[in-house]
């Protein structure tokens, strides 16, 4: 520039746009690929997650193109245009397999017999099942269970096989057994007890009171129980070890009372069941309803629509069910709502057995160091909402868990805050929560299946002693069945649970009071426990030894003990066989041991 006057000059710079690249996804076979994040163009250095999702009957095999290997999901860095192919292969079809789940063995004395089996095929194409009895013609059946209710006395055979869409049959499985029809029913009066089966029951209401079972007949056989590979929900009522003084309760004055909106985030204390340590996680508010807030750690799992689905089910169905038949929640923080935090509860779940579906922590209602200062319970996302992990999230699978944990919350409010009588005993509190699940979705088949297959129950597991560090699944099964036995025997439908919850007794006493009121004024809780065990065995359609004819309990299959203990706890009971049709007590049994001869 020539300086011939005052000059003012500006240099203008423009940013060089970042280099962008395209991502092309192809599939070979039947399946799809999800891309996260999904963009039309990617900047240099972007990391992209690719997840191959096979269609039914297909499986992911490997990646080709600019991504190789068989890791799924996999990541790729965008430093050039990428062209990637996900290769899926068809799962080969093999003949189906079939295995026995339940059915009679040896000598039986029941006219009605339930046969149940399980079939599987590599491509999931089983089209039906067939059975036949005593060598007759094969008969088609739609499901995996058949009840044979016209069995005559004598020896019989029962056969079953599975069939797939290609008309391939599995190998045939066979039962052989002999039916013996006995007269009589239950003999509770000694010293001689008539029957072919002997029940040994410790009627003590103290779960730590072990008593001598007496001299018993030798075991006549050692038939094994069935085995189930199901997964089962357990939960926890986390203890609050702090001071229960009302001065330590959360109040609206103790907290900032910030009003949260959908999309806001917040730190929550959560419990890691693997390490036994409370840890904090960041969660996002995904739904606000009339009675509930839904918070989620992973908004990809609990999307806005899924949170709305979960929240509306709680508001429209579960809230009324629990508050009608049990009680109402507290409101220490004054927001008028129950919070539900959805996250993957860390419990060591490995693909079978029990997993923690949810929990309630009363410490959240107090000003403790790990308190979330609100009415809140916690719901698992995996495996509660999707199992296996590759399957999509289905929040409806956790609906019954909402009812279960909400009952624990209102139970605490009634017994601790309103009555000031302390927590309800665990076995009964869990019976109430599983009763809430039963009201919501009907028979809890998994609890019955576990009862049928549990070696611990068959050899005397206690109803009263909550074995949290042992076979706790047996406790859940027994508590569920006792809750339903109470309901069917009292003839008060589901309102019986509210009546017992409002009783100032928070243990067996509230059950005993109901028994004396609705069944027999002279019956105590120990007698009722013995009748409960007999009902599990006989399943009579009327009277004290059954479930009032409700068909959902017909699949109960009480096992005979294959190991006789010398002592049993209060609330424990087992069955053994009597040789010769009668048993004479030796007199060396504990004072609360009750025998029953059963035909």
Inter-residue contact 462 to 425 (CB < 8 Å): no
Instruction: Identify the CA nearest to 149 among candidates 475, 554, 482.
Output: 554
Parallel, antiparallel or unpaired: strands 46-54 and 23-28: unpaired
Answer left, alpha or beta for residue 404, where phi above 0 means left and psi between -120 and 50 means alpha. alpha
In DSSP notation, 224-275 reads: PPP----EEEEEEEE---S---GGGB--GGGS--PPP-TT-EEEEEEEETTT
Query: In the chain, helix, strand, coil percent, each to 5?
Result: 25, 30, 45
For 551, residues 6+ apart whose C-beta sits below 8 A from its C-beta are: none
Counting Cα atoms < 13 Å in the Cβ hemisphere of 234 gives 27
Given the residues 405, 437, 572, 577, select the one marked as catalytic: 405
Inter-residue contact 194 to 578 (CB < 8 Å): no
Inter-residue contact 560 to 225 (CB < 8 Å): no
What stretch of H or E contains 85? strand 82-90
| CA–CA gap between residue 237 and residue 426 (Å, rounded) | 8
| CA–CA gap between residue 396 and residue 412 (Å, rounded) | 26
| CA–CA gap between residue 487 and residue 485 (Å, rounded) | 5
Q: Which residues pair with 5 in a beta bridge?
A: none
Buried b / exposed e along 500-525 (16+ C-beta atoms within 10 A): bbebebbbbebbbbbbeeebeeeeeb
Answer positive or negative: Cα dihedral of 579, 583, 587, 590.
positive
Respond yes or no: is residue 405 known to be catalytic. Answer: yes
Three-state SS at 434: helix
For 38, residues 6+ apart whose C-beta sits below 8 A from its C-beta are: none
| CA–CA gap between residue 238 and residue 278 (Å, rounded) | 11
- What Å distances lie between residue 9 and 2, 6, 13, CA to CA? 13, 10, 13
Three-state SS at 148: strand
| CA–CA gap between residue 397 and residue 388 (Å, rounded) | 13
Instruction: Identify the CA nearest to 475 among candidates 230, 235, 208, 231.
Output: 235
- Residues serving a catalytic function are 405
């Amino acid at each position: 520039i020539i300086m011939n006057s005052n000059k003012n000059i500006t240099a203008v710079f423009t940013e060089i746009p970042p280099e962008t690249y395209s991502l092309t996804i192809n599939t070979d076979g039947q399946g799809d690929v999800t891309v996260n994040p999904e963009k039309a163009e990617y900047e240099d250095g972007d990391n992209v997650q690719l997840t191959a999702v096979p269609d039914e009957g297909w499986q992911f095999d490997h990646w080709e193109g600019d991504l190789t290997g068989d890791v799924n999901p996999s990541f790729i860095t965008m430093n050039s245009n990428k062209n990637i192919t996900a290769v899926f292969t068809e799962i080969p079809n093999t003949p189906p397999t079939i295995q026995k789940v339940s059915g009679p063995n040896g000598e039986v004395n029941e006219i009605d017999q339930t046969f149940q089996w399980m079939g599987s095929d590599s491509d999931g194409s089983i089209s039906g099942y067939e059975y036949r009895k005593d060598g007759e013609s094969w008969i088609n059946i739609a499901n995996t269970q058949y009840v044979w209710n016209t069995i005559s006395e004598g020896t019989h055979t029962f056969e079953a096989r599975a069939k797939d869409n290609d008309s391939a049959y599995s190998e045939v499985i066979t039962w052989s057994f002999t039916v013996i029809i006995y007269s009589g029913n239950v003999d509770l009066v000694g010293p001689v007890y008539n029957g072919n089966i002997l029940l040994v029951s410790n009627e003590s209401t103290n779960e730590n009171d072990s008593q001598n079972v007496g001299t018993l007949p030798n075991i006549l056989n050692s038939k094994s129980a069935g085995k189930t590979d199901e997964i089962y929900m357990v939960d926890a009522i986390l203890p609050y070890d702090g001071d229960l003084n009302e001065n330590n309760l959360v109040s609206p004055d103790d907290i900032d009372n910030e009003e949260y909106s959908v999309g806001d985030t917040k730190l929550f204390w959560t419990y890691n069941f693997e390490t036994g340590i409370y840890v904090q996680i960041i969660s996002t508010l995904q739904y606000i309803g009339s009675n509930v807030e839904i918070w989620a750690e992973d908004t990809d799992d609990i999307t806005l629509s899924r949170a709305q689905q979960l929240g509306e089910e709680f508001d429209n169905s579960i809230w009324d069910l629990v508050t009608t038949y049990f009680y109402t929640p507290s409101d220490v923080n004054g927001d008028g709502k129950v919070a539900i935090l959805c996250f993957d509860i860390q419990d060591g779940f490995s693909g079978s057995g029990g997993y923690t579906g949810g929990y309630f922590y009363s410490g959240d209602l107090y000003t403790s160091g790990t308190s979330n200062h609100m009415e809140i319970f916690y719901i698992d996302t995996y495996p509660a909402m999707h199992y296996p992990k590759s399957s999509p999230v289905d929040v409806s699978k956790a609906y019954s868990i909402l009812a279960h944990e909400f009952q624990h919350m209102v139970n605490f409010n009634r017994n601790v805050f309103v009555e000031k009588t302390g927590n309800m005993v665990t076995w009964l509190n869990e019976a109430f929560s599983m009763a809430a699940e039963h009201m919501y979705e009907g028979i809890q088949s998994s609890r019955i299946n576990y009862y049928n297959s549990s070696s611990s129950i068959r050899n005397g597991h206690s109803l009263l002693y909550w074995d949290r560090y042992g076979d706790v699944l047996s406790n859940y099964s027994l508590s569920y069945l006792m809750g339903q036995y109470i309901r069917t025997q009292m003839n008060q439908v589901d309102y019986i649970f509210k009546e017992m919850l409002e009783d100032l007794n928070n243990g067996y006493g509230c059950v005993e009071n109901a028994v004396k009121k609705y069944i027999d004024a002279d019956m105590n809780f120990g007698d009722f426990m013995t009748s409960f065990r007999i009902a599990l065995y006989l399943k009579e359609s009327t009277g004290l030894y059954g479930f009032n004819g409700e068909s959902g309990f017909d699949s109960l299959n009480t096992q005979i003990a294959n190991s006789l203990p010398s002592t049993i706890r209060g609330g424990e009971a087992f069955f053994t066989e009597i040789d010769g049709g009668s048993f004479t007590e030796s007199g060396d049994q504990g004072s609360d041991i009750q025998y029953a001869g059963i035909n």
